[in-house]
Amino acid sequence: MNKVQKHLASYKFSVKGIWLAFRYESNMLFHLLAAIAVIAVNMLFAVTKTEWLITLMLIGLAWMAEIFNTAIEKLADRVTKQHDPLIGQVKDLAAGAVLIICLFAAICAVIIYVPYILK
């Protein structure tokens, strides 16, 4: 298999990871529903191209953060099922990263959508 074929084959694993996240992680369903709502609101308000780009990037960042969080949690659980303070901190940090991007996405939503609501 040449380099290009190996590279293309690696996408199969990437897609599998995304599918696993949406199939088995309940938080990803919430993020999916939120993304659908954002897309619907964007179409309803006919937001600008820049606002579309911002909201799509925030959706991608939230999904990415949640998938990283899930990966860290699964790896930590594989290391030990027993309570370990350091692993607990690692899991909390990863969860905090998800919360940060979601809070900033909510702030951006207010900044973007309030002017449309007040028109």
- Summarize pLDDT for 45-58 with one digit per residue, the tens: 999 999 999 999 99
- Summarize pLDDT for 69-107 with one digit per residue, the tens: 999 999 999 999 899 999 999 999 999 999 999 999 999
CA distance 95 to 93: 5
What pTM, to 2 d.p., does this model score? 0.90
pLDDT at 74: 95
CA distance 39 to 33: 10
CA distance 97 to 77: 19
Q: How many CA atoms lie within 13 A of 107 on its CB side?
A: 6
CA distance 33 to 27: 10
- Summarize pLDDT for 1-15 with one digit per residue, the tens: 788 888 888 899 999
